[in-house]
Amino acid sequence: MNGVVLISGNGSNLQSIIDHSAIDLDIKAVISNHANAYGLKRAERANIPTHVLSHKQFSSREEFDQALSNIIDQYKPEIVILAGFMRILGTEFTHQYSGKMLNIHPSLLPKFQGLNTHQRAIEAKENQHGVSVHFVTEQLDGGPIIAQTSVDVIDTDTTESLAKRVLLEEHKLFPKVIHWFTQGRLKLEKNHATLDGKVL
């Protein structure tokens, strides 16, 4: 299956997808909105074409989204993977890729949508925190959840220690979910994710 991966930073999730050779996925391009994202180097090392599209060049979200979809569509991807892509996408863009765009979010959604999830989980004295993979809809971090992994929050946790533990789980969960999708087992039907025809 042809795919495109969008990143903004380190790209460790991108790396975990690249390294997961069991997935029948041909990453046609990696696109970053930051020129200095380390994930671009990871892509280059894996001989994947890269693009940088800075949102700062555009005066509106719609113009950025349009330019982004122009790049994406060159590759005719069947899956668009948001792997640490830290931009809010407009309604039209999310509709355009409905049912084939997946995002990873470092919290047990619907808890802690948005930023600083680890810090907020600690402040809220949560016993459990974790990661979610979901289909992207126009609702920010609000699309149908596909899979989650929990981790215990321990008394001595700092934002960094918790983030590190969650990230390890991200690296396992995202490739697994992408594999389901490339096998044609995972679908977005109405407002639910289904796996092998069963609502998740």
Pick the binder of ligand GRF from 31, 68, 83, 145 (CB under 6 A): 83
Residues with Cβ within 8 Å of residue 84, at least 6 apart in sequence: 7, 8, 9, 10, 11, 12, 13, 14, 39, 104
Is 105 one of the annotated active-site residues of the chain? Answer: yes
Residue 100 or 105: the one with the smaller Cβ distance to ligand GRF is 105
Give the span between the Cα atoms of 148 and 138, in whole angstroms. Answer: 20
| Residue of 20, 51, 95, 105 with catalytic role | 105
Query: How many residues bind to ligand GRF according to rule CB under 6 A?
Result: 14
Least separation, in Å, of the C-beta of 47 and ligand GRF? 19
Give the span between the Cα atoms of 101 and 81, in whole angstroms. Answer: 6
Residue 77 or 84: the one with the smaller Cβ distance to ligand GRF is 84
Question: Looking at the chain, how many residues does it have?
Answer: 200
User: Is 13 an interacting residue with respect to ligand GRF (CB under 6 A)?
Assistant: yes
Pick the binder of ligand GRF from 34, 42, 105, 129 (CB under 6 A): 105
Pick the binder of ligand GRF from 3, 4, 6, 9 (CB under 6 A): 9
User: Is 170 an interacting residue with respect to ligand GRF (CB under 6 A)?
Assistant: yes
Q: Which residues are catalytic?
A: 105
- The residues binding ligand GRF (CB under 6 A) are 7, 9-13, 39, 83-84, 104-106, 167, 170
